[in-house]
Structure 1
Amino acid sequence: MISTWRRRRAGRHAGKNQNPDGNLNMEVSIPINFRCPISLELMKDPVTLSTGITYDRENIETWIEAGNQTCPVTNQVLKTVDQFPNHVIRKMIQDWCVQNRTYGIERIPTPRIPITRYEVFEIVSRIMDATKRGDQMECQELVAKVKLWVKESDRNKRCIKFNGTVCALSEAFDAFATDSFEIHAGVLEEILSALTLMLPFDAEGQSYLGSTASLHCMVWILNCGDLSGRRNAVLVLKELLSLDHRHVDALAEIEGANEALVKLIKEPICPTATKASLTTIFYLVSPLSSSSEKIKSKFVEMGLVSLLLEILIDSERSICEKALGVLDGICGCEEGREKAYSNALTVPVVVKKILRVSDLITEFSVSILWKLCKNIEKRDEGGVLVEALQVGAFQKLLLLLQVGCGEKTKENATELLKMLNPYRGTLECIESMDFKNLKRSF
């Protein structure tokens, strides 16, 4: 297929540059030497391989990253995968675009030359050297340069990430954190900012960022840093806890960590930081933590239950899922359930979320309701169960079993229906015939 551009002239150009036969649909063929041999499209960033064949950079990089070690045209084995910018062809293509601009052809921009792994090795070496000398100013400047490279293109990001940069930055963070948080605050926050652009971390990077000094430093930034610093700190903490659960107990032991995480929810910086904080708290209150019961009690004392319920009233899907996950974890302890019982929003909000938004939200909602009903005292049993019935729990649970759900959620829903059933006598209930046309999801 011959690649062409078509330009339909607007009415105001009808009298200008019109071809002799009056046809307003103009076709311009791309010269063969301007087309990439792989895509047959106009090259925007022509590069030449060691075999002497020129390709568009994006296409040949995709070819090589797929595991191919040969030149697509000559089928020769590549002695090196290095690509050399073909400035002559690129300039010719740009001139051709300018000459044909009347046909709607736009001049291709001069591409930024992507970094090479040798440049990455060099800057990594300089960062490590500056770290050893304790030169925070030079290290901060180098990290800022790395950030600029990463933001230029995905290709740069991959090259930087997979050539030891994350490990070097993590080691530098640990070294400066060990020395002094206050003295090196600038470079520490700059490193965190760069690390958030290169998630997830490798194992070696995790070991440095999960050190005692590094964790204490991130908590300090959560409490004392500026808005961007606090955002970056919680993003890195969330990533660490998701990759290695051993960091959960270490973070839980740091004074001020829980308070800083709750503050990010109470005084939100941005949705990204709120989600990261909720996820971090979720790991802290999960069974993965050996001191989860103690942690849950602390969060209850900070008023997290009421805060979560307020968030759940009107929040987007992702935040809602995370908030319900945290509430489910907190309701696993007696203090958490007591706080939930005493809040008038708990049962109506939780029941409302069943079969709304997503399957995960339904699972968390049923789990929370089951914990509240299963563990209540006899003197309060009627009140909570009747309230759940009044806001439509029985009907929603029946519907949930009809459409299908996970095995654990099905067990909880079935047990909840048994607990609710004795109190239905004086309350209106939807007849089962209303569900006869529902289709199962399995």
Structure 2
Amino acid sequence: MKTSLCLVIDYSTTASQTEEVCEILGNSQKLVHEIVQVVVNKNCDNLSEAAIKALSALCSLESNKESLVKGGAIDGIIRYISRCDTTRQKNLAPLAMTTMMKLLVLESGKEALVNHVNGIETLVKMVFKVCNQECSESAVGILSIVCSDFGSAREVAIGAGVLSQLLFLLQSQCGTKTKTKARMLLKLLRSKWTEESMH
């Protein structure tokens, strides 16, 4: 029943002329909380994946984003990708990470990620994924956003081994776009580290 509900949300928010429905659903804290609980369900991948699709659909509307962050969407996505088997063909980690990136337009979204006990480390582990370039690109993009704004995020990322992960990524067969983002993040981390060490 929960899977069906998530699929209905996904459909109803992508169908034409349903922006109002999407806003009503996305601003229901109880519904958002329930979807997040389904996302973190370790016992049923199909159910979690349906919930990721529902979160992504709700995130398509700007006015829903604050409600999703308040409802724990960042935590749910981190917990989902941390246990995700990225070698699976139907894996939804790329969609989950794209959804997270959309939530980072909000300061509260960035803070939820930076303050999460495993948030930055989980993303660092996703940087070098030979079997899933989408995950690598998203992870680099997300880390670039938070490391640009938060010294604590840079510190944790460097401590978690992001520099070596980025170097591995640059030596791999990943796409040009991913490599460009990886170089930009490396440059950011090096310049910020140099700047901070001078003070």
The residue number in structure 2 matching 1:359 is: 133
How many residue pairs get aligned? The number is: 185
**TM-fit CA distance, 1:364:** 1.5
For the residues of structure 1 that align with 2:8 and 2:153, how far apart are their CA atoms?
40
For the residues of structure 1 that align with 2:70 and 2:77, how far apart are their CA atoms?
13
**Equivalent of residue 252 in structure 1, options 22, 26, 43:** 22
CA distance 1:235–1:283, shift in 2 (3 Å)? closer
The reply to whether residue 233 of structure 1 matches residue 2 of structure 2 is no
Q: Kindly indicate which of the two structures has a greater share of residues assigned to strand.
A: 1
For the residues of structure 1 that align with 2:71 and 2:30, how far apart are their CA atoms?
8
The reply to whether residue 411 of structure 1 matches residue 180 of structure 2 is yes
**TM-fit CA distance, 1:406:** 3.7
**TM-fit CA distance, 1:419:** 1.2
For the residues of structure 2 that align with 1:246 and 1:273, how far apart are their CA atoms?
27
The gaps in structure 1 that reach 5 residues or longer are 1-227, 425-442
The gaps in structure 2 that reach 5 residues or longer are 195-199
Contact 1:332 1:371 in 2 (8 A): no
For the residues of structure 2 that align with 1:236 and 1:302, how far apart are their CA atoms?
19
TM-score, normalised relative to structure 1: 0.38
TM-score, normalised relative to structure 2: 0.77
**TM-fit CA distance, 1:310:** 2.2
Q: Secondary structure at the match of 2:116?
A: coil
For the residues of structure 1 that align with 2:16 and 2:155, how far apart are their CA atoms?
40
The reply to whether residue 263 of structure 1 matches residue 40 of structure 2 is no
The reply to whether residue 398 of structure 1 matches residue 171 of structure 2 is no
The residue number in structure 2 matching 1:134 is: none
Contact 2:32 2:68 in 1 (8 A): no
The residue number in structure 1 matching 2:197 is: none
CA distance 1:295–1:240, shift in 2 (3 Å)? closer
The residue number in structure 2 matching 1:301 is: 70
For the residues of structure 2 that align with 1:342 and 1:386, how far apart are their CA atoms?
13
Q: Secondary structure at the match of 1:372?
A: helix
- Which protein has the larger Cα radius of gyration, Structure 1 or Structure 2? 1
Q: How does 1:284-299 map to 2 (within 5 A)?
A: 284-286=58-60, 289=61, 292=62, 294-299=63-68
The reply to whether residue 337 of structure 1 matches residue 110 of structure 2 is yes
